[in-house]
Amino acid sequence: MEKRRPLIAGNWKMYKTNDKAVETAGKLSGLVSDIADVDIMIAPPFTALAPVSEAVKGGPIKVGGQDLFWKEEGAFTGEVSTAMLLSAGCQYVIIGHSERRQYFGESDKTVNKKIRAAIDTGLIPVMCVGESEKERDGKETFSVLDKQVGNGLKDFLLDDLDNLVIAYEPVWAIGTGKTATTEQAQEVHLFLRSFIEKNFGNVLAQSIRILYGGSVKPDNILELMNMPDIDGALVGGASLEAETFAKIVRFQK
């Protein structure tokens, strides 16, 4: 069976003012303009979405939001809707990142509502899951992931999930320089794929893309991509610099 089409995504988190964001996006756009066999996404901060979308227009780079709120509109100060993301040029949205869970009260329940809102409006959701160091040490990795994915996808039907992307980001590997070994990552990716198979069937299990995130660098991308169940990466720190991220997109050191 052929592997799924890779997706390499850059999560810029709370970095870059608009001038810097446009500069990096423009540079990256030039560096990857010939790439046709890998999907590429960058998720700048909300404030930079529209100018970054403009800067990458016509090239292979797609743009994503880092979060959304599930209501269509209303008195929700500080929040951003799917229509707003779409009008700023987004095709993707990251949902349930561990930093949102850790610092901003995101729960499996809110993740579930956000995925629903993304799917209903045609945005591709990148659902993040992952265990903490304590949970891994306590041998709870699989039970934690089972709960996160199970609750996050509660009440969805197979037909809803065609475009869903899952990102496995072990919390202990984010921004720490500690990467899960490729074997550790592969083991979890296989577990997640089996979860999808058990709950939604083999066709979706074979087509769904499962990204790895946590200290991905040019040095480790190829080894990760060589694993049978790793379909791409969600890159934080190493996506902030155009040259470095372009190497990751090419699976090059």
Annotated catalytic residues are: 97, 169
Binding of ligand 13P by 175 (CB under 6 A) = yes
What lies within 8 Å, CB to CB, of 196 at 6+ separation is 204, 205, 208
125 and 115 Cβ atoms separated by less than 8 Å: yes
What lies within 8 Å, CB to CB, of 74 at 6+ separation is none
Residue whose CB is nearest to ligand 13P in the complex, by number = 236
d(CA 13, CA 11): 6
In 10 A of CB 54, how many CB atoms? 14
Q: Which member of 60, 64, 125, 236 binds ligand 13P (CB under 6 A)?
A: 236
Residue (225 or 235) nearer to ligand 13P, CB = 235
Residue (67 or 169) nearer to ligand 13P, CB = 169
Q: What's the closest the beta carbon of residue 238 comes to ligand 13P, in angstroms?
A: 6
Considering only residues 79 through 118, tell me which ones interact with ligand 13P, judged by CB under 6 A: 97
Q: Which member of 67, 106, 131, 169 binds ligand 13P (CB under 6 A)?
A: 169
Q: Which member of 214, 218, 230, 245 binds ligand 13P (CB under 6 A)?
A: 214
Residue (205 or 235) nearer to ligand 13P, CB = 235
Q: Provide the b/e sequence for 84-115 (b: ≥16 CB within 10 Å).
A: bbeebbbbbbbbbbbbbbeeeebebebbbbbb
